[in-house]
Amino acid sequence: MLLATLWLLPTAAPAGMAEAPPSEPPVRTFSMAEYNSNVQNWGAALGPDGLIYVGGGMGLLEYDGVRWTRHDTPNNSRVRVMHIQQRTDEPARIWIGSSNQFGYFQREPDGAMVYHSISDRLPEAEREFGDIRGIAEAGGAIYFQSIPMLFRWDGHELQQQPNWGGIF
């Protein structure tokens, strides 16, 4: 089943994979059972650590070239959008947006990937904002966009701006 396909960049094909014709990169297809998630994947990015990160239907997926690891969100929802923020003073942050949840994953010194929720800072009554559909970094802040709300996190304070009868 064609579910998660990666374009492999090495010039030589890995063992067991037919060599691609000239000008065509080798492609490897993974089943849901191989990457431990469901059929929908929303985006992919190469991290500064050389790992591939995929916003999956059941959380954040990480691929090291050999095995897949799934990192769950607190509400076990899909990771619709992500943004990798390289940092000079600490490991990269992988900002994610899912349903009624946003925050970041960051690798700890022991190698564990830990999720830090930013949306949990909202009052309980304001946590039903739907899917986060965009993440942007600008002016030292991270912005999270949903249909009814725009959120701004500057590292200390979470601000929100409701829409004005339109869609962000």
Vertex 130: Cα angle to 125 and 131 (nearest 5): 140
Pairwise pLDDT comparison (164 vs 156), residue with the higher score: 156
**SS3 of 119, please?**
helix
The pLDDT of residue 165 is 62
Q: At residue 112, does pLDDT exceed 70?
A: yes
Q: Is 141 exposed, middle or buried (0-12, 13-18, 19+ CB in 10 A)?
A: middle
Pairwise pLDDT comparison (114 vs 35), residue with the higher score: 114
Alpha-carbon distance of 80 to 132, in angstroms, equals: 7
DSSP 32-84: HHHHTS-S-EEEEEE-TTS-EEEEETTEEEEE-SS-EEEE--TT-----EEEE
**Mean pLDDT across the chain, nearest whole number?**
85
Name the pLDDT band for 21 (thresholds 50, 70, 90).
Answer: low
Q: At residue 8, does pLDDT exceed 50?
A: no
The pLDDT of residue 15 is 52
Reported pTM = 0.81
Q: What is the mean pLDDT of residues 22-28?
A: 78
